[in-house]
Structure 1
Amino acid sequence: MGDPGVPLGGRVGRGRSGSRRRRPGTAPACATKPGAESRGLATLAARRIIDWAIRERGIHRVEWHTNVANAPSIAVARRLGMRHDGTLRQVLPGPDGRIDLEVWSVLAPEWTA
């Protein structure tokens, strides 16, 4: 599973996707350490968070937000079976100007099917 000298890991968590009034839901957050990419860790971690959120917490909609230039993150959303809902144009400041975010989602009935 790759270079044994590279520790596997990163961080994982969850956040809210918008205000509770307007867009209730949750958004998993995953990041891998440099050298631990392309090993399926983010997909595995996100899959577990989504499963927990939907099955244990009763969340109906889970969103994935990513920079449009982050191809590995977009690939994770696809592997999770999420649908591309759209792009939030110039929504956040970035190091070289404002950045666009893609929004992906999965609904509870889709996840449990």
Structure 2
Amino acid sequence: MTRSLSTRSGRIELRAPTEQDDAAVAALRSHPYTRRHIPAFPETFTVEDAKALRLKRDADLSHIPFYIFRTDTNEFIGATSIAYLDRDERACDTGILLREEYARAGYATDTMHAVLKHAFEEEGMHRVSYHTSEKNVGMRGWLDMAGATLDGILREAWPDKDGYTSVCVYSILEQEWASVVKQRLEERIDKRGCLDG
């Protein structure tokens, strides 16, 4: 099992979940910023809930979870995963949760580059999919920038407090990763590195 992934910038590292991170995960999953585009997440998510989720995913061979840490401070900043991994069909899903203060600062790009690289180049995936709320303009813009394709919209697929939210399904195929997406993300990461440095 993969225990950690390095990132192109070196600013963050993706690590396997541990018990020490359960409180941070509980806070992330129940935070209003996280829940605004994932309405199925509960308002209250306890440390015990985080532990149960971690143990469930540890036992699930179709799920490779990672927690995101800053390398300079060792601070937990979010979570990502490769989910619904189907080795026969060579397909999986992925996504990302970041703490609000780390949004729009290049951490998602660095994280998703590492996850996609692992999915396509190490796990041998042909297709990686993303599901995001139709209202999540930020994530949809990021997926468009990266070169993902909007496959369609699942109408009223996620229940929320007002009824239902429609879900956009995007995908990246292995040839698109190799010919377009990888380079776009690396250029963006490297440009941010120059600005930061």
Runs of 4+ in 1 over 3 A off after TM superposition: none
Tell me if 1:50 matches 2:50.
no
Taking the aligned partners of 2:174 and 2:112, their CA distance within structure 1 comes to 15
Partner of residue 31 from structure 1, selected from 79, 85, 97: 97
1:39-80 CA-partner distances (Å, limit 9, x unpaired): 121122112111110111111001111000011111221232
Larger Rg: 2
Higher helix share: 2
1:11-51 CA-partner distances (Å, limit 9, x unpaired): 1112128xx5xx75111120110211111211221121111
* Greater relative contact order (Cα < 8 A, sep 6+): 1
Instruction: Please tell me the root mean square deviation across aligned C-alpha atoms, in Å.
Output: 1.8
What is the TM-score of this pair, normalised by structure 1? 0.81
Structure 2, gaps ≥5 residues long: 1-74, 180-197
What is the TM-score of this pair, normalised by structure 2? 0.48
Alignment size in residue pairs: 103
Equivalent residue number for residue 170 of structure 2: 104
Structure 1, gaps ≥5 residues long: 1-6
Equivalent residue number for residue 157 of structure 2: 91
Higher strand share: 1
* 1:97 CA displacement: 0.9
Percentage identity across paired residues of the two chains: 25
